[in-house]
Amino acid sequence: MMKSINRRSLLYFALAVAAALALYGLSARLAAEGGGKTAAFVTDSREIFSLAYQSGKTPADVWREVNALGVAGAAVSEFTGDELAMYSSLGVRFGPAAVFTAKLNADAARAVLCWSKNSPYGAQLRSYLERKLPNVGFVEASGNVYALLPGTVEEFKSSALVPDFSALEFCRANGADALFRPGPCTPSSGADVAEALDWLTNEYPQIKNIIPAGAILAGYPDVRPLAAVMKAKGITLSQVEFVRQIGVPALARNLGSLVVPMHSLTKEEIISRSISRPTIVDRYVRAVHERSIRLVMVHPYDLQMGGRLDIFLKDLGEYKAALEARGYALGWPKPLPVWPAPLAGAFACGICFVFTLWFYGSRMNGSEKLSVPLSSALALFAASAALGGALWYSSAAARLAGGLCGALVATEAALCALESAHSRVRGAVLALLTVVAGGLSIASFYGTSAAALRLTPFSGVKLTLLLPLILIFAHDMKRRVHPEGFLEVMRRSPLWTELALLGVVMLGALVMALRSGNVSNVPGWEVAFRDFVENMLIVRPRTKEFMIGYPALVIYWFTVRKGLIPYYREVLRLAAALAFCSAVNTFCHFHTPLYLSVIRTLNGWWLGLLIGVVCAAALGLALPRLKRAAGVRL
């Protein structure tokens, strides 16, 4: 009867168990990802009218043409005071009481809305204002209706006052779904905004979605009344990625599953960055395919003058064809099904955490090749189960452990690969399997529907990227993988080239952490290169893996086998570790379909190793010449 087990074998057995549990826990997520392949384009209702004016067609004709190409809804905004002062399709004027000839018995500076008694929208305007603005007063005189607003003109210039009822009527007449864009208005509380929306959606039931306008959510900070109305009527919220609006995250959390991610590429961004039409197509397709975006706000392309409707229709045709080629149907998307954090996923994370931490400790004291009693192995599994239960029961423990689990997995994968200079294929495969087992475990437990909708962001991304570098450096100093120990390095005069190279690696890691999840920090040339690679491989591997981490790993193996640069290998080891940090981090992008994360990880692995082999071969050919040129032994 076996009384002990090899530590390394025990680690890999435990990771295999974790992977099996993770896959079981991922069943609900995989089912949701497999069934949610419907997306829609939406556009601004004002642009429908603008394109109609420019093309000599009716707005209804334009709507039919764009609707046939996948535009399922039209966004309808509220008019601000400034917009009403210039012109509005409602025939409403805005200004101070002093500019109106009627006797309003109001202070001269008080803000006033005025419309004709015969206005087709008069009843709607009055009903909406009565609900949205407390203490609004109405005066009828000289054939007009005057709404005395509770504030001065200055206060209401940028405040959203009344919806574009003409656009809502257009949507009703043409069977178009409406996406209402309520904006902030200081006098309106959360209850006032909710009451106004309740009335508005009763009048116009084609309002299916809310896209908050402005920097602050209407009715903030009390979002509960608005959420209650939306829940009762099944109205979804568009959460626009990369846009930060005060109060919208709180509303999204209150709505839960009634959140639909949206991507919007603004005209200002297109013009300022001179984004080409093919790049726009690529942006939209990747948003839907890789980030689970289900609503895409489209606009007429503005970098080419004249014939705007024809160009817009052509663009829509390209968007539609590209998505259908990826297996997506165009139609109004359903909200994402709800799935909680599975207990099996919690146990998987507990196993990964306990066993990788234990094996890191074994590495530090040099006992990783020894065996352990079977009783100790059972105790480790018991500790893993206890930790898994704690993670599932306590959200605080889960938040704390997520980043640590990812960092420990990445550390083990990196050390496994780095120690395999003489068994490279085996080491590379085992390191990849370690990443996949740990990544699946994190994706299983933390990748809930709320996380997929970015309602509960994973708090350990930066820790996953940076902590492994510290752990590997500490390991290398303790085990003297570097020719010197930490105290020796501290006591001797510094090797400035060594420190400079190490500084470059650490700076690169910092930049990597800062850029994570931040598209605006990526330069244009890199975006173009990414697009090229993605077109070649369908799913683009992460640059830091196939261009930095894995090539550095192969070059490190080369230097070990050739006995080169012993004092500078630490730089290569830390650079190689970036690949495994990034690979584990890929599984922490819970809004990305899981199968794409797996493919991306595999692509980064094989392509990075291939590039590394080419670089090592070139270095091997150039090495004799470098030695002769330097006149020293490297």
Write out the DSSP string of 266-311: -HHHHHHTT--HHHHHHHHHHHHHHH---EEE-----SS-S-HHHH
pLDDT surpasses 80 at 2:
no
pLDDT of residue 521: 47
Burial class (CB in 10 A: 0-12, 13-18, 19+), 531: middle
Cβ count near 390 (within 10 Å): 15
Mean pLDDT throughout 345-372? 95
- CA atoms of 235 and 238, how far apart (whole Å): 10
Instruction: Note whether 388 and 347 are within 8 A (CB).
Output: yes
Supply the CATH classification number for the domain 37-78+164-330. 3.20.20.370
Amino acid identity, position 599? I
According to DSSP, residue 449 is labeled: H
Q: Which of 154-168, 449-463, 467-481 has the lowest mean pLDDT?
A: 449-463
- CA atoms of 584 and 432, how far apart (whole Å): 10
Hey, what are 320's tokens? 């539609």
Mean pLDDT throughout 326-332? 91
Cβ count near 219 (within 10 Å): 26
pLDDT (tens digit per residue) in 43-100: 999 999 999 999 999 999 999 999 999 999 999 999 999 999 887 788 899 999 888 8
Phi-psi region of 168 (alpha: psi -120 to 50; beta: other; left: phi over 0): alpha
Phi, psi angle pair for 330, to nearest 5°: -95, 125
- CA atoms of 187 and 25, how far apart (whole Å): 48
Mean pLDDT throughout 403-428? 95
Please enumerate in sequence order all residues whose Cβ is within 8 A of that of 66, keeping only pairs 6 or more positions apart, or say none.
43, 48, 312, 313, 316
pLDDT of residue 501: 59
Higher per-residue pLDDT: 625 or 431: 431
pLDDT of residue 496: 54
Hey, what are 124's tokens? 């709607």
pLDDT (tens digit per residue) in 485-496: 656 655 555 555
Q: Which of 439, 20, 39 is nearest to 260 (CA)?
A: 39
- CA atoms of 30 and 36, how far apart (whole Å): 10
pLDDT of residue 517: 45
Mean pLDDT throughout 323-328? 90
Beta strands in 302-459 (DSSP E): 329-330, 371-373
Going from the C-alpha of 282 to that of each of 199, 322, 582, the distances in angstroms are 40, 9, 23
Cα 107 to its chain centre, rounded Å, is 49
According to DSSP, residue 182 is labeled: -
State the pLDDT confidence band at 466, using cuts at 50, 70 and 90.
confident
Strands 207-210 and 236-240: parallel
Cα 219 to its chain centre, rounded Å, is 26
According to DSSP, residue 484 is labeled: S
CA angle at residue 361 from 359 to 366, to 5 degrees? 90
- CA atoms of 287 and 295, how far apart (whole Å): 9
Q: Which of 416, 351, 313 is nearest to 63 (CA)?
A: 313
Three-state secondary-structure class, residue 222: coil
pLDDT (tens digit per residue) in 506-560: 665 555 555 544 444 455 555 565 566 666 667 788 888 988 999 999 999 999 9
Strands 4-6 and 371-373: antiparallel
pLDDT surpasses 70 at 230:
yes
Mean pLDDT throughout 157-184? 95
Please enumerate in sequence order all residues whose Cβ is within 8 A of that of 9, keeping only pairs 6 or more positions apart, or say none.
none
- CA atoms of 382 and 508, how far apart (whole Å): 39
Phi, psi angle pair for 76, to nearest 5°: -120, 125
User: Hey, where are the domains in the chain?
Assistant: 4-33+338-630, 37-78+164-330
